[in-house]
Amino acid sequence: MLLRQRQLQTKINALVDAALYGSMFWLAHFIRSRPQIDTAGVIVPFEQLQWILMVVVPLAPPLLDLQGFYRRPLLASRRMALSQILKASGWVSLMIIVAMFLLKQELARGVVSLFLPFVVVAMISKEELVRFWTRSRLGDQRARRRVILLGSQRGLDRLGNILRLNAGSDVDVVAQMDPIEKRLDELANLLHEHAANSVMVAPRQLLFWQIEKIIQICELEGVEVWMHADIFQTRLSQISVDEFAGQPLLVFRTGPEPTWESLAKGAIDFLGSLTLLIVTLPLMLLVFLAVKLTSPGPVLFCQRRAGLNGHPFSMFKFRTMVSNAEQLKQELEILNEMTGPVFKVTNDPRVTSVGRFLRKWSIDELPQLWNVFRGEMSLVGPRPLPVDEVARFDDLAHRRRLSVKPGLTCLWQVSGRNNVQDFKEWVRLDLEYIDNWSLWLDIQILFKTIPAVFSGDGAK
């Protein structure tokens, strides 16, 4: 199944699941409120609880997705499905209880007690229907894609193995043809003979005019052409098809793709930084006075750091060192504890007494909330390095950490930052974050940052 078709199917499943959760909540309330049932709790008319559907319906699909429910194999085990449904349904029930408690509204415990088994039974029943339909569909030869493979013999063998391993029950390879050895005009006869509805092309070793001819023949027949995008051998890039200025493009991307999650990340950065700036303003005013009164020089330390794709920006911190710290840095190079271009020293003599306290509790980083608010940084992302340190990267692969916005906190900081002394390990953690990025990962890192800060495990 093509990715777009699978995504459409997932959206349909999510809508059905949301409707099931909403209807099961209504059914639980309806049965619990029957006069034939002796109720110990207070049954509020459903009209007054309709707002709960605004909690249940939108939250159910994301909670199922967090359990991997929509990323399962086509015919996953029943035990896996049951476990995922139970966990998601438990969270939905808990959120209903919390919402009712916070809003001080009464809801008989029996409603929630009935809702949980009702929704689990309904979801399992739906899954069994889908499983039955899927098995019958896969067992029906007419429902499968009838595919003709085109390409060099080497490409055909490789493509055939891929289809057998990953889509054997979804497609029937009805014919194969090597355009190098046979005339392309024979393709039309194969389409007629096998009533094929897709032609899959392995383009390596084919000429562009041959590929164009294949597409033209299939256009006349109204048959889809699937081009196997293995023309270029990439190690990290994810390939997608897009359009720019009306022109179709193949996009090779190693960073996270723009999605609703990335939009949500931007919104969280903006609202989160604004809220934190307001909340921490009294604290920052106290720090401003402490730095000003205890050490000569500016209160804020401003340094050019490498931002997204290496674009420099001015990053702000409360000054924690003596005012001529940059001039003294060369004298301390011999004490550098980090391998690579980064400079880190335990008990740096340039740090002031107030600065040591600010660093211990990461208070010196608070002005960077302004960088987040301005869109130069994110709450979560690889820590920005000084421009001169980035210029000294001895491995160009390290620059991939610049493919996302730098952040206030990152995997490195919540993984024992003072214990990481190898710059390559630092970069590995940053690239691990980039390659596995999700909004949920950002939330996990933010929650892990809180105990890391309160433990006093500050920066060196």
Q: Categorize the per-residue pLDDT at 47 as very low, low, confident or very high, splitting at 50, 70 and 90.
A: low
Residue 238 lies in a domain: no
State whether 339 and 392 are in the same domain. Answer: yes
Is 244 a domain residue? no
Are 277 and 368 members of one domain? yes
Confidence of residue 122 (pLDDT cuts 50, 70, 90): very high
Specify the CATH number for the domain of residue 195. 3.40.50.10700
Task: Tell me: do 151 and 103 sit in the same domain.
Answer: no
If asked whether residues 227 and 279 sit together in one domain, one would say no
Which is higher by pLDDT, 254 or 11?
11
Residue 282 located in a structural domain: yes
281-285, 347-351, 415-419: segment of lowest average pLDDT: 415-419
Residue 122 lies in a domain: yes
> In this predicted model, what pLDDT tens digit does every residue of 220-274 receive, in sequence order?
888 888 887 767 766 667 777 777 667 777 777 777 777 888 889 999 999 999 9
Q: Based on the fold, state whether residues 315 and 413 are members of the same structural domain.
A: yes
Whether 93 and 165 share a structural domain: no
Domains in the chain, number? 3
Q: Is the pLDDT of residue 193 over 70?
A: yes
Is residue 412 domain-shared with residue 288, that is, in the same domain? Answer: yes
Please tell me whether residues 114 and 160 are part of one structural domain.
Answer: no
Asked whether residue 460 is assigned to any structural domain, the reply reads: no
Question: Of the given ranges (68-72, 183-187, 245-249), which has the lowest mean pLDDT?
Answer: 245-249
Does 448 or 152 have the greater pLDDT score? 448
Reply yes or no on whether the pLDDT at 52 is more than 70.
yes
Are 382 and 269 contained in the same domain?
yes
Comparison of pLDDT for 74 and 16, the residue scoring more: 16
pTM of the model: 0.63
Q: What is the pLDDT, as a whole number, of residue 393?
A: 86
- pLDDT above 90: residue 382: yes
Q: What is the pLDDT of residue 283?
A: 95
- Boundary residue ending a domain (92, 120, 139): 139
Mean pLDDT to the nearest integer, 109-131: 84
Which sign does the torsion angle of CA 93, 97, 103, 106 carry? positive
Residue pLDDT, tens place only, 361-374: 889 999 999 999 99
**Same structural domain, 182 and 286:** no
Beta strands in 187-246 (DSSP E): 198-202, 224-227, 238-244
**Distance between CA atoms of 70 and 84, rounded to whole angstroms?**
10
The reply to whether 135 and 153 lie within a common domain is no
Residue 46 lies in a domain: yes
CB atoms within 10 A of CB 276: 16
> What one-character-per-residue DSSP string does 301-346 give?
EEEEEE-GGG-EEEEEEE--B-TTHHHHGGGGGGG--SSTT----T
The DSSP code for 334 is G
Q: Domain boundary at 139, 155, 182, which?
A: 139
Once rounded to an integer, what is the mean pLDDT over residues 308-315?
92
Whether 251 is covered by a domain: the verdict is: no
Question: Does any domain span residue 247?
Answer: no
Residue 381: Cβ-neighbour burial (10 angstroms; 0-12, 13-18, 19+) = buried
Domain coverage including residue 76: 3-139
As a whole number, the mean pLDDT across the chain is 81
Q: For residues 154 and 89, state if they share a domain.
A: no
Cβ(320)–Cβ(360) under 8 Å? no
Question: Which of 139, 164, 187 is the last residue before a domain boundary?
Answer: 139
Instruction: Quote the pLDDT of residue 220.
Output: 82
